Amino acid sequence: MITGECKLKTAKETIESFVEQLDDFINTTNIKFANFKPEFMTAADMSMDKLKQLSKDDCFNNADLLYGYAAYISDQLTRQKVVYDLCTDQLEKMVAKNSDRFGPYTKHEAKIQLIVVDNEYANSIDHYRQIAQARMQSLSDKAYELKRKADILTEKGKRL
């Protein structure tokens, strides 16, 4: 690259680079807790008839799987929150850089939307932010529900 030349990243490259840095941090610090395992689904989707037939060990084993699945869901929710926050931060910085374009009575939300409409990069960032927000809504409360199921199985196992 020639001195003074600046390579601008696309919105996708910005987000992918940030997520890659996040993954590197998680991997080097060994804080990654759970990977998805197909048996998570088996434990989560167990029928009532199957639940009634579980032994004490089966209850505890399935509870452990559900706790693992909840941890996995929490990790995924956190990932989407990080992407959402990054996108929001990028849009906020664009509003700050373009503050002279807006009147003193323009609402902050309107400023963001005006920038999104006028700027292709901001539009892409907003698109990724909306995807992350939709994913967060989809994942919210799922970890709690799984932990609750695991707690119930643990209690059932104690009574057997």
Return the domain boundaries, the chain.
Answer: 38-159
Whole-number pLDDT of residue 92: 96
> Which residue, 26, 15, 43, 20, is CA-closest to 124?
15
Whole-number pLDDT of residue 89: 95
Lowest mean per-residue pLDDT among 22-36, 100-114, 145-159: 22-36
Whole-number pLDDT of residue 127: 94
Give the tokens for residue 49.
């008839």
Q: Is the model's pLDDT at 1 over the cut of 50? A: no
- pLDDT one-digit tens code per residue, 2-55: 444 556 688 888 888 888 888 888 878 777 667 899 999 999 999 999 999 999
> What's the CA gap between 23 and 42, in Å, rounded?
28
Can you list the positions of beta strands (E) in the chain? none
Whole-number pLDDT of residue 33: 63
Whole-number pLDDT of residue 29: 77
> What's the CA gap between 88 and 142, in Å, rounded?
24
Whole-number pLDDT of residue 6: 53
The DSSP secondary-structure symbol of 8 reads P
Mean pLDDT score across all residues of the chain: 90
